[in-house]
Structure 1
Amino acid sequence: MKIALFGASGRVGQAFLKQAAADEQFDIYALVRSQPTELPLPKDRIVMGNARCREDVKKVMKDAEIVISCLGTDGDDTLSAALTHILDIMLEQHIKRLITIGTAGILDSRYEPGKYRFETNESKRKLTRAAKEHAKVYEMLKESSLDWTIICPTYLPDGTATGVYRAERDVLPEGGSSITVGDTADFLYRELVTGEYVGYRAGLAY
């Protein structure tokens, strides 16, 4: 099964690759902007390019059955620009499954119905630009016919996977304040295998 991976050189992308690259049921192809040094992929599965460029996105998605995005906001509109290309090409090529990494800021507020967490004092972040960019992607996915999942970790320190954490649909687990990069990647791999959160945002925390 071919997977098109975006954001492979980021923290979650690299951690996911370390876990998933050894799984023989998946053939992972990655789009990267610069020559990677330690991605555990054969060179013929690494496509050089930019996720803002539709032709580069299309190249890595050719014949893919699943798309995974670990892209960040990059300080601008790179995330929504890339997802616009990805969604268009998924429709063209009849690809249904998309898993993407978001942020806990776009989960539903527990205490103020109808608001995202980043719009309330539940979120400790003062700046909301990145959350608004992730929310834009969520709104795009809600309007699509795709089988999507957005994985929404809260504060994301470096750290390896323990496999022990909490996940909840559309809200952050009560009292959750952090989850490591390793465990976020572990949940991504689990969701790839199980599809338990299709059509939901998955809030992640310890």
Structure 2
Amino acid sequence: MTSGMHAGKEDFMNLLLLGATGRVGRYILDYALEDGHVVTVLVRSPDKLEDYAPGYGNQLQIVQGDATNAEDVAQALKGGATAVISALNTDGTTTLSVNIALLVRLMQEQSISRLITVGTAGILQSRTEPDLYRYESSETRRRSTRAAEEHRRVYELLHESPLDWTIVCPTYLPDGARTGIYRVEKDFLPEGGSQITTADTADFTYRQCKSYEFVRTRVGIAY
């Protein structure tokens, strides 16, 4: 799998990115801007992106707001997005599920169908107990299931929606450079996979804007 796309007029994208200041989201922002796409970001703290603004001009639109506030999300979508990427964190709250419920409604209202989110390998199916999610099975080492349960709620909301969604489900996420070389599998974590860097998770997530291979499914990703 190789990295690096360069936008021409025929493949120009206008993206709305949520979670742009996070560990995965910041890489997605970098990749999209480097490729010449227009990116609108909805962030609580615009100062975290002040280094970007001078270099990208109108290519980067920063909207200050809260991803759980309907008016703020609607305002961010008014930028003309053709696809939405969410790399929001759970933050130990219901932020993800509240935001997804808003996106499902607001995207339909604006006839935007493509949504890619970053989830967790915990909501993939267990290989040893296929009727269970990984976080419910003996495959997981995590004691707390709170974050996985929030990601599961997101999956359920999207599964019930008419959107063209994809949930990218990474396992352990250390920081690290983009290699563009990794394994992906529908509904399951690639066998023996134990980690994937933030940069490579962002690489695959970003690529889904132009791919319909994994529409309306979860995708496990690992080395």
| TM-score of the aligned structures, taking structure 1 as reference length | 0.95
SS in 2 for 1:11: coil
User: Could you tell me how far apart the structure 2 residues matched to 1:38 and 1:182 are?
Assistant: 19
The equivalences for 1:14-163 within 5 A come to 14-24=26-36, 26-35=37-46, 36=48, 37-39=50-52, 41-42=56-57, 45-62=61-78, 63-163=80-180
Q: Which moved more, 1:107-116 or 1:190-199?
A: 190-199
Identity across matched positions, percent: 53
> SS at 1:82's partner residue?
helix
- Tell me, what secondary structure is at the counterpart of 1:60? helix
Query: 1:42–1:70: structure 2 CA closer, same or farther, 3 Å change rule?
Result: farther
Distance 2:193 2:186 in 1: 14
Query: Which amino acid letter does the alignment assign opposite residue 102 of structure 2?
Result: H
The alpha-carbon distance between structure 1 residues 181 and 85, as it changes in their structure 2 partners (threshold 3 A), is same
Compute the displacement of 1:52 (Å).
1.1
| Number of the residue aligned with 1:6 | 18
Calculate the aligned-residue CA RMSD, in Å.
1.3
Q: Are the aligned partners of 1:69 and 1:100 in contact in 2 as well (CA < 8 Å)?
A: yes
Contact 1:9 1:39 in 2 (8 A): no
Q: Please state whether the residue corresponding to 2:24 is helix, strand or coil.
A: helix
The residue matched to 2:107 in structure 1 has which SS? helix
CA deviation map 1:135-182 (0-9, x unaligned): 000000111111100000000000111111100000000010000001
State how far apart, in whole Å, the 1-side matches of 2:85 and 2:151 are. Answer: 15
Asked if the contact 1:69–1:99 (Cα under 8 Å) also holds between the matched residues in 2, the reply is yes
- The equivalent of 2:208 in structure 1 is 191
Q: Distance in 2 between matches of 1:99 and 1:149?
A: 5
Corresponding letter in the other structure for 1:78:
T
Structure 1: gaps spanning 5 or more residues: none
Equivalenced residues, count: 205
